Amino acid sequence: MTNRLKKPVYLDYNATTPIAPEVREAMLPCLAEVFGNPSSAHVYGREARADVDRARCQVAALLNCRPGEIVFTSGGTESNNHAIKGIAWRRKSQGRHIITSRIEHPAVTEVCGFLESLGFAVTYLPVNGEGLVDPAAVAAAITPETILITIMHANNETGAIQPIEAIAALARRHGIAMHTDAAQSTGKIPTDVNRLQVDLLSIAGHKLYAPKGIGALYIRSGVTLEKFMHGAGHEGGLRAGTENVAQIAGLGAACAMAAADLEVNRRHLQAMRDRLLDGLREKLAQHPGLRINTPLQQALPNTLNLSINGIRAADLMARCASDLACSAGSACHAENVSLSPVLTAMGIAEPDILGALRISTGQMTTEEEIDAAVASIVRAVKY
């Protein structure tokens, strides 16, 4: 473990998480003696296959589905690509209309844009001031041509949790495939696919203490997708390529930990987030205009998106750089200085968008770190 006290406090867990020690432990044998090809019939292959099978069961247990409904991928981006293109290709003779929202991650909007260039029609639904999609707007957008609804479970910038159950019920009633990007919610809040009623759900390992470059796609039994990678018959024939056994074992271990400790972790994440908010509210009481962009009653427990009137996030972050690592806008495209489409879709005024800071707590976050972060932000504001 690096000495975290010497580095700035890390409060950017929505960008990525460190690998949990238990996850690393689960991976180590696959980086050493368990080197077989899971497709080989001999003992080396069978050992590796056992690790892949175990991980598939662990992921399935977290999502409350069958192991055979899980396909391992290279991460959230691939899972989203596979779900959306896979349905588009498979159902294009039934219709060519897709419904999504204006606040999706680029791993969804870019795929939708690509499909538009191929002749599909895409409806990008607006959100309200809290960043929430209205199921009534989804209902109104459905046409006989609609083949897919893809709405994220929780937003990466604001943490807003979308009414997926209500939207999925509509999809089901119309025989439309329902996909949700659960890259941010998995491991933080329940992601039971039967409660959510989704057909397809994407997860990203590096958001829940597994390594980068591994993810999974849940595909409800009976829902068929066009294959994503052509080649040999791996992953039920949908995603060819020898399995990334070590990463898969890591994702499995991370899912098992998340399932075992979901409620305890949720409370910790929220306690840390709330301590931060309370600290800022108290210490900045004299400073006008602390705007909370996260809908706290319907949001991930760890996410706080806020703007401090008159201060650009880039300036604030520069002033805090030696003590605090967090994000302005969305970390996945941090070099992009254009206004956040998510906050723009929420109707937030430009100065507040430019001031928006995303702070996200994690399982390793301590009270000491939160207090240091509050002190750092307050110093930067009073600078």
Q: Annotated catalytic residue: which of 65, 112, 326, 332?
A: 332
| 183 lines the binding site for ligand PLP (CB under 6 A) | yes
Nearer Cβ to ligand PLP, position 59 or 311?
59
Least CB distance from residue 43 to ligand PLP, whole Å?
33
Site string for ligand PLP, 187-216 (x = CB under 6 A): -----------------x-x--------x-
Which residues have a Cβ under 8 Å from the Cβ of 251 and sit 6 or more positions away? 55, 58, 59, 72, 205, 210, 211, 214, 215, 216
Least CB distance from residue 10 to ligand PLP, whole Å?
16
Least CB distance from residue 181 to ligand PLP, whole Å?
5
CA-based nearest residue to 199, from 175, 218, 174: 218
Least CB distance from residue 233 to ligand PLP, whole Å?
25
| Amino acid making up residue 289 | G
CA 280/CA 303 separation, integer angstroms: 15
CA 121/CA 118 separation, integer angstroms: 9
Site string for ligand PLP, 327-366 (x = CB under 6 A): -----x----------------------------------
Per CB under 6 A, which region of 29-37, 72-80, 90-98, 252-260 contacts ligand PLP?
72-80
| 374 lines the binding site for ligand PLP (CB under 6 A) | no
Member of 82, 97, 105, 234 binding ligand PLP (CB under 6 A)? 105
Per CB under 6 A, which region of 70-78, 116-124, 137-145, 333-341 contacts ligand PLP?
70-78
Which residues have a Cβ under 8 Å from the Cβ of 366 and sit 6 or more positions away? 272
Q: How far is CA 346 from CA 2, 66, 298, 304, in A?
A: 39, 37, 15, 15
CA 261/CA 30 separation, integer angstroms: 25
**Both tokens of residue 32?**
């050493």
Q: Which residues pair with 304 in a beta bridge?
A: 359
Q: Is 150 exposed, middle or buried (0-12, 13-18, 19+ CB in 10 A)?
A: buried
Member of 58, 101, 158, 184 binding ligand PLP (CB under 6 A)? 184
Which residues have a Cβ under 8 Å from the Cβ of 222 and sit 6 or more positions away? none
Per CB under 6 A, which region of 56-64, 75-83, 128-136, 242-250 contacts ligand PLP?
75-83
Least CB distance from residue 79 to ligand PLP, whole Å?
8
Least CB distance from residue 243 to ligand PLP, whole Å?
17
Residue showing the smallest CB distance to ligand PLP in the complex: 76
CA 306/CA 293 separation, integer angstroms: 5
**Both tokens of residue 39?**
């497709």
Member of 17, 58, 77, 363 binding ligand PLP (CB under 6 A)? 77
| 19 lines the binding site for ligand PLP (CB under 6 A) | no
Does the active-site annotation cover 332?
Answer: yes
Q: Do residues 290 and 284 touch, judged by C-beta distance below 8 A?
A: yes
Crossing angle, helix 367-381 and helix 313-320, to 10 degrees?
A: 120
Active site residues: 332
Which residues of this protein are in contact with ligand PLP, per CB under 6 A?
75-77, 105, 107, 152, 156, 181, 183-184, 204, 206, 215, 332
